[in-house]
Structures are given as structure tokens and as C-alpha cells.
Structure 1
Amino acid sequence: MNQNPFTTIQTVKTALTFALLLGLSGITLAGQAPGPLSAPDVPVTHRDRIYAAEQFSNTVSVTDPADNKLLGVIRLGDPTPGNLSPLYRGQLLVHGLGFSPDRRTLAVVSIGSNSVSFIDTATNAVRHVTYVGRSPHEAFYTPDGKEVWVTVRGENYISVIDAATFAEKTRITVAAGPGMQIFSPDGKYGYICSSFNPEVAVVTVADHKVVARVKQESPFCPNIAATPDGKQVWFTLKDIGKTQVFEARPPFRLLKTLETGAITNHVNFAHTAAGTFAYVTIGGLNQVKVFRTDDFSQVAAIPVGALPHGLWPSGDGTRIYVGLENADSLAAIDTATNQVVANVPVGQAPQAVVYVPNAVAEGAGTQGLQPIGMAAQTTQLKLVPVANGKPAAGAAAPTSVTLFDQGLLQVLQASVTGLQPRQPYVLALASRTDGTGPLEPLATFNTNPAGAAIVNAIGPIRQVVQGIAGTEARRYLVIAPSGDGKPAAPVQVQAM
């Protein structure tokens, strides 16, 4: 059929005008998640920013990827015990991150204060705070930029926020404990995994209707991502150490279940000349594993540091940035070599990480940023297995421990692996290096099906461990089985 030349010319003009408007407005898209594969890559420049949400310092760190330099932090709240005051007005347990399609607004979720803080990426100023239901976990914009969906993990719904007014406009009811949501690159579907129930809900964005449910192999999914080609959805199962993949379009068929490892955290993608690759953080192994998305074969296992958590690709897919929860740093991975090429110090216990291309269209973009300060003060320890009543010589350390300095107190976080599945244990202090003698419990916990756990305690732990002013004996961290409320002989002891 012959096409009207005038219509063709008008179509071309319209396309050119639209492209020009996109350029003038500063909107940049990339063939990287969460954008569509057809969009152009965005090379790394000083206009880009990496943001990490840090739950113990209640900060958002801001890094320039062009030279891997920390520019400062956005301080959303205070450390403990200041945040325990009945008059406390800051945010608590800063955890989740999302950003608008125009790259101008960052959405920051704080679990403990039930909030979403909307931050201007050019000025680092909080534009608005929206309070939602109990214990929200993650927030992300729909691809058209009109809505922000927030998983309210402590309840059974998605809070849908109007991106223009920052007010909740409706709720989408799902199974209790929605963990995270992400969208198909074309904006048709939202995919919502659960942290309390073994199902992923598929929702049509236009009318907020649940149109499908995909079975999870376990109830605890913390993270979900869609491939840029719009064909696959990957989600992680933290409690059993697996990652599952299903078709992003009807009938949403399960494609693959991968055994990834204890404390499997987040997943994201990089599209390169060699194909599209899934990067998965494995907290229990201190690795990022890399898989092809065409045949699901593993191509790399990258040592990155203590307890890798969130991760995000650069706008051109040349790098993946990984938040190291128990090392207070970002690891930069070169996707061509799958090697760590840089480390950037950030705040305490980074959780979600996002890379925002062209976040700062003009100016320095450092307004409102503060020095990292006390958030940089941490101490790392390791626990090793016990064999024949003694620390196993030359054994790998299955448990990493970090003390996050909060001033008078420290938050202790242990990334525990190498134990029996679904069993009770106690993290305790011993007066002897081999763990023998009386134990002083710090925290009790149960391991997950992979024999792992994330264990927290708070108090003047460093002072107790080191001995106060030399008047008390030094203490040593141990892990022991617990039965009838009493600890047995330790199975892991502090490495000397």
C-alpha cells in the first residue's frame, strides 16, 4: 500500500520534535534495567549518581561514579539512642530506593518510620515525606512516572502514591507481606513478590488488577527485577538461597530455579555486547554470582566483600555497583572482566542501591550533603568453626560480624552461615578464646532452611568485649546451639 508522502514527513517531524524535547528536558533512558532494551545506553559521567540507603546511620550516601568518589550523605535521621526519643522526628531504618523516569526525584523508604522521602536529585533536598502503612520495604515509579508503588510489607497491600501530589491515591490488595515490586519495561505489568507468602502477584498497571499469581518456592522474597527485553522476571529467595525466573508475559510460566546460596539478596541486570547477564548478591558467600539470561548458565562468582546486598547497573552496563552491608562500602564491578575495580566508603549497613544516570543536569549537585562522620566508624570481626573443641585451623570464616558505632552504643550485625537448618542458637560472649566456660547471651535466633541468619544486637558491645578501662576481662564472640533456654558448647568462635 502506498503511503502519503505528507503523512510520512509529518511523522518524521513529530519523531524529531519528540526526541528534541526529550533531550531538552534532560530525560535520559538506557538499555539497562529498569528501562527498555531499545533505549540508548548512557555513558558514565560526573552527572551520574549512585545512591545507597543505609539503615543504621539513617543516611543516603551520594557517590560520583566517574571517579568513584563519595560526595557526602543526605542525613534523614539520627543514630541510636537519639532515634529512641518520643520527640524524634527523623526517619528510622532507611532501607529502600527508587527513582523517577526523568531522574529528578529519588524515593527513599524508611522501614521504622513508615515513610517515603522524596528527594530532589539536583539539590539533595527532601521535597516531601509521605507516610504509609506499617513497615514499608521498597518503592518504585511506574515507567510513565505518574505513580509510585510502595510495598507495605507489614500489611497486605501496595500503597499507590500520586507522583505529582505525593498523596496516596489507592491501594492494591495482595497477599500479606509484599516484599518488592518492579515493572515491565513497557509499563503494562507490575510484579510484586512476597516476604510472608509463597506467591508473586502480577498486576496490570492501568487498572491495578491482579491478573496472575506465580508460585514462589519459599515465602521470603526480598527482591525482584525484570529484564530490559521484557521477557523475564527474576526474584530472590533469601531464606532458602535460591533465585527463580518466570516469563514476564502471559502465561507467566516458571522458567528456572537456580541454587544460588545462603542469604541470596538482590538481583539486577547488565546488557553488554556479550548479552544480558543477571547479577545476584549472595550474602552468605560474600559473592556476586553472574548468570546468562538466555541459558541460565553461571559465568562468574565474584568475591566482593562482607554481606553484599543491593546492586544496580550503570547507564551503559559497563559497571555494576554493589552495597556491602557489613563492610560499609560500595564495590564497583567491571562487567567486561567481572572483577571489582573500586571500593567506595559509604554509610552504615547499605541496603538498596540505585544508579541514576544524569541525575544532576547542571551544577555541582553537592548542595545539602554532609560529611559521613561517625557513620564511617565500624569494626569487623569473623567467627570460625570449632573442631575437636578448638578453632578449626585454616577454616574459612562462615560468619562475619560488624559493630556499627552509634556514639555511646554500637549496633552489632552478624551474617551467620554454616549452621544446622531451622535450629535455635545463641550469639554470646565468652571469657575464653575457645568459647569454654560461662556464656553471656547477646541474642537468640533460629536459622533459616539454608542454615543461615542475620542477627542483630545493640548496646555498649565494644566496651564489654574489650574490657572497660582494663578492670574487666576481655570477652569473645561465640555462637552456640540453644536448648531449653541454655547454650551448649560453642560451634563457632571469634577468629583471633
Structure 2
Amino acid sequence: MKRLLVVAATLTAVALAVSSLAHAGQAPVALSAPDIPISHRDRVYSSDQFSNTVSVIDPASNQLVGVIRLGDTTPANFSPLYRGQLLVHGMGFSPDHRTLAVVSIGSNSVTFIDTQTNAVKHVTYVGRSPHEAFFTPDGSEVWVTVRGENYIDVLDGKTFEEKTRIIVPAGPGMQIFSPDGKYGYICSSFNPETDVVSTADHRIVGKVAQASPFCPNIAATPDGKQVWFTLKDVGKTQVFDARPPFALLKTLDTGPITNHVNIVHNSHGMFAYVTVGGLNQVKVFRTDDFAQVATIPVGNLPHGIWPSGDGTRVYVGLENGDAMTAIDTLTNKVIATVPIGQAPQAVTYVPDAVPEGDGTANTQPLGAAGSAVHITLVTVGRASAGNANAPTSVALFDQGLLQVLQAAVTGLQASQPYVLGLSDNADGSGHIDVLASFKTNPAGSAIVNTLGQIRQVVAPGTPEGADHRRYLVIAPNLGSSLGPAVQVQAL
């Protein structure tokens, strides 16, 4: 009897120890849901905007499984007969973890992909420039924010065909649902207003004022108490009560090009992880008192972020780094960086996405989708190579005949016109050929894109004499002329 009591006590102690490690309810489900330990059956996905691919990662090994190609690179996608997807961007997944919903903003589509086979099941075409798509918690509907219009396109969760539309202020940016499925929270990219919609009848039941018009991302805590959303143009993150009357709780200054936010619950508590593209950092905040508890350097232009099924990791897409970074949430340290496709945008972690087999069907090697050159621009007078605090990162994505150039610009005057160009001289003096004109946002930052045959004049190692070498610079746009360069290429 004594032995049985000892064994029972030991088993009870073990059970308590195990239960103390389980912190249920990772995004996007309720706190009561069980955690799902990381395994080879899980997958991390990123939507790769300029290679028009979906990258697939095995988180148990932190290795790339392959890419799912949804479209061609430029200029092949210029043809009027082109049938592939263009500018692969947003991403969500079904509650049963068997279907991805991938939004392509250039081809106005939502592509539904089987997670087991990586095969396309269906493509639904919606209105102008959709941004994100998410399933309702019961899987009955898919809500698509049509950012170029003034509505949410509501699709049937089985047939993927349109059921109805929810009219909202122009430019809905993203929606997420309360864990109980009662509400849909829709932030705006064009109007300073987040709307709360009843999922039962598709009616707006609440409004929350945004500190600025440009919200790209929104997340709900698994306890159903808070909603967090980011403001890319002013570098802030706001929090409001997820329940009526949906009162604003906190506004945080997070930094230039604040991109995405997501929620993690682990043995240390519940936290919001925010990607700050202009600082190349992920910032971590407690959800109870909003205190910042960590700043994690991750690489160039962090964008999408999503936690593992047990909350022990978050995965971050590096838009100008063409990589996925894995962060241990208990130490808040980077533990792996995996090369992926060009300019990753949204990221999702899908536990048990591949119930059987190796899950490699219908994937391709990374190949040309991983081809890019990375450059930094620094403030004039500080042009030292390897400057960790360089205000501007540039990625030059190889498309074959052409290159897509994307610059994540910070450190400039707010709301002012500038040009990104090629200068004859490394110090920015001399003639400047303008590649792109842009205006900074209220945080003095901008995302600048241009396209052309650029690589041969900016890539490091160009032989002297093969071409007249020129250098990337940023200069004020004075209208009839350009001012002296304020940022120059680091050498």
C-alpha cells in the first residue's frame, strides 16, 4: 500500500509539473484550447511578394521544405494572357488546419491551398487589391479585406464562393476574430477607424478611433479581452477592449514602419510581439500592464509574425532579408534564420498541417526565388560599411531580365518629398538619376519600390571600367531641382 501511495504521489507530481508547462491558446484560438507541441507535422508559411511563391518551413528542423509557386516573376507576368498570381501577400488558415487562404494583391485573388499536398484547391477572384483573408473560428466563412474598395468580401468556407459583402469605410486593412467567433475586428488602411462587426448578422456594432489612417495588421488575445493593431505610417501600436463598448486602452510608440503584431502565451505570461520594420527589431510587450520587456534584433525589415502552437516560438518574415527568423519566446533570442522567397509579407504557423508523409508534394526548390542583393544607406558623413544602425535597407530582387528594388527608408524629415536615385559619386555629389520619387510618412519613413535593369550598376564587385559605377542615394525633392544627398550607399 505504501508503495502504491508513493507511486501515486509521484505520478500526481509529474502530472502537475507537466500541466504547469502547458499554456493553452495560441493565435488564433481561445485560451481554453490545448497547446500543440512543435513537431515535423507542423508548417510555417510565408507569402513571398516578388517571387510570387509561398515558402514552406518545417519548424522542427527549421529547414525550408520548398516553395509553392503561384505565379511568375517580372516581366513574364506583364502579358495580357498571364494566368498566374501576382504580388502574393496575405495569408490565413482554416480552423481544421487543412487549408491556407493566400491573397495576391496584384491579381485580386484568394488562392486556397491544401496543407497536406500543397496543391491549389480553388482560386476566388475578388475586388481591387485585397489584403488579408481569414476563416471565421467555426470555418463557415472566409472574410477578405478588399483594401482597394469599401467592403469585406464574405466567402463560403466550403465552396469559397462569395456569399455577401460587408460595407465598411474605404480601405479595410485586415480583420481578425474574437476567439469565441462573436466579433470580427476590421481595421482600416485609408480611414482612422476600426469597425467591430457581429459575425452572426454582419452588422457593425462598434467603432474604435485609430490614431492614424494606416493600419496594416490586427490581432486578438486568446483570452478574449484585448485587440491590438498597428499603425504603419506613424509608428504606433494601439490596444482596445475586445468587449463592448470597445474602449481604447493604450497607445504605444513602437517605431517607424511598425508592421505586424501577434500574441504569445507561455510560462512567463501573455505578450504582444510587434515587428518594427524601420528598426529591424521585434518589440515585446506584456498584455497586462503594457510594459515593454524585450527588444529583439532580427534582420532587415521584419514584417509578418506568428507563434507556434505551444507558444514557445514566434516566426518572423524578413521582407528585405528574404529569410524567416525563429525566436525562442522564453529567452527572446533568435535561434534560427532560414532562407525563403523574395520579400515575405504575411506569416502563419499551422500546427499539424501535414498529418502524414513528408509534405513535400507540389513544392519546388528555392532556386531563383532566393536571389537578391542587399544594400544599406547611411546618413551622409557616416558611410561606414556594416553600420548596424543604418537608417535604410535596400533589397534588389532578381527577376531575370529585371530587378525589383525595395527600400525601407527611415531617418528623414516627416511628410516631405524625396527621391531615391543613382549618383555618379559615392558621397552623393554630382548628377543623380532618379529611380523613384516618394513622400515620407509622419514618422519620416517610407517603403519605396521601383523596377528596372538596375543590378549591374549597384551590385558590389562590379569590375572597374565594365560600366560607370554609380551609387544609391536619397536626396530632397525640391520640385524643379534636387537638394544635396542626405543618405548614401554604405561601402
Tell me the TM-score normalised to structure 1 length.
0.92
Q: C-alpha deviations, 1:174-222, integer Å up to 9, x for none? A: 0000000000000000000000000000000010000011000000000
Partner residue in 2 for 1:154 = 148
- Whichever residue aligns with residue 214 of structure 2, its letter is F
SS of aligned partner of 1:490: coil
Q: C-alpha deviations, 1:393-434, integer Å up to 9, x for none? A: 978310000100101111000000000000000001011110
Contact 1:226 1:234 in 2 (8 A): yes
Residue 462 in 1 paired to residue 469 in 2?
no
- Whichever residue aligns with residue 405 of structure 1, its letter is D
Partner residue in 2 for 1:237 = 231
1:464 Cα deviation after fit:
3.0
Partner residue in 2 for 1:102 = 96
Rounded to whole Å, the distance in 1 between the matches of 2:283 and 2:32 is 26
- Whichever residue aligns with residue 467 of structure 2, its letter is E
SS of aligned partner of 2:184: strand
Rounded to whole Å, the distance in 2 between the matches of 1:74 and 1:487 is 43
Within 5 Å, give how 1:35-184 maps onto structure 2: 35-184=29-178
Residue 186 in 1 paired to residue 180 in 2?
yes
Rounded to whole Å, the distance in 2 between the matches of 1:206 and 1:143 is 12
1:472 Cα deviation after fit:
2.7
Partner residue in 1 for 2:429 = 436
Structure 2 portions without partners, runs of 5+: 1-22
Q: C-alpha deviations, 1:284-337, integer Å up to 9, x for none? A: 000000000000000000000000000000000000000000000000000010
CA shift in 2, pair 1:341/1:311, >3 Å: same
Within 5 Å, give how 1:254-293 maps onto structure 2: 254-293=248-287
Tell me the TM-score normalised to structure 2 length.
0.93
- Whichever residue aligns with residue 307 of structure 1, its letter is L
Residue 474 in 1 paired to residue 469 in 2?
yes
1:471 Cα deviation after fit:
4.1
1:468 Cα deviation after fit:
8.9
Within 5 Å, give how 1:442-457 maps onto structure 2: 442-457=435-450
Structure 1 portions without partners, runs of 5+: 1-28
SS of aligned partner of 2:477: strand
Contact 1:48 1:359 in 2 (8 A): yes
Q: C-alpha deviations, 1:72-120, integer Å up to 9, x for none? A: 0000000000011111100000000000000000000000000000000
How many residues are aligned here?
466
Rounded to whole Å, the distance in 1 between the matches of 2:482 and 2:37 is 55
Partner residue in 1 for 2:343 = 349
1:484 Cα deviation after fit:
1.4
Rounded to whole Å, the distance in 2 between the matches of 1:316 and 1:395 is 33
Percent of residue pairs identical = 73
Larger deviation, residues 469-478 vs 152-161 = 469-478
1:476 Cα deviation after fit:
0.3
SS of aligned partner of 1:486: coil
Partner residue in 2 for 1:424 = 417
CA shift in 2, pair 1:179/1:395, >3 Å: closer
Contact 1:199 1:215 in 2 (8 A): yes
Contact 2:384 2:490 in 1 (8 A): no
1:485 Cα deviation after fit:
3.9
Contact 2:411 2:445 in 1 (8 A): yes
1:364 Cα deviation after fit:
1.5
CA shift in 2, pair 1:395/1:357, >3 Å: closer
Paired residue for 1:196, among 190, 194, 198?
Answer: 190
1:171 Cα deviation after fit:
0.1
CA shift in 2, pair 1:395/1:320, >3 Å: closer
1:460 Cα deviation after fit:
0.9
Within 5 Å, give how 1:22-33 maps onto structure 2: 31-33=25-27
1:465 Cα deviation after fit:
3.0
Rounded to whole Å, the distance in 2 between the matches of 1:170 and 1:485 is 49
1:365 Cα deviation after fit:
1.1
Within 5 Å, give how 1:398-413 maps onto structure 2: 398-413=391-406
Larger deviation, residues 483-492 vs 348-357 = 483-492
Contact 1:385 1:395 in 2 (8 A): no
Rounded to whole Å, the distance in 2 between the matches of 1:470 and 1:86 is 40
Rounded to whole Å, the distance in 1 between the matches of 2:480 and 2:298 is 37
Partner residue in 2 for 1:302 = 296
SS of aligned partner of 2:458: helix
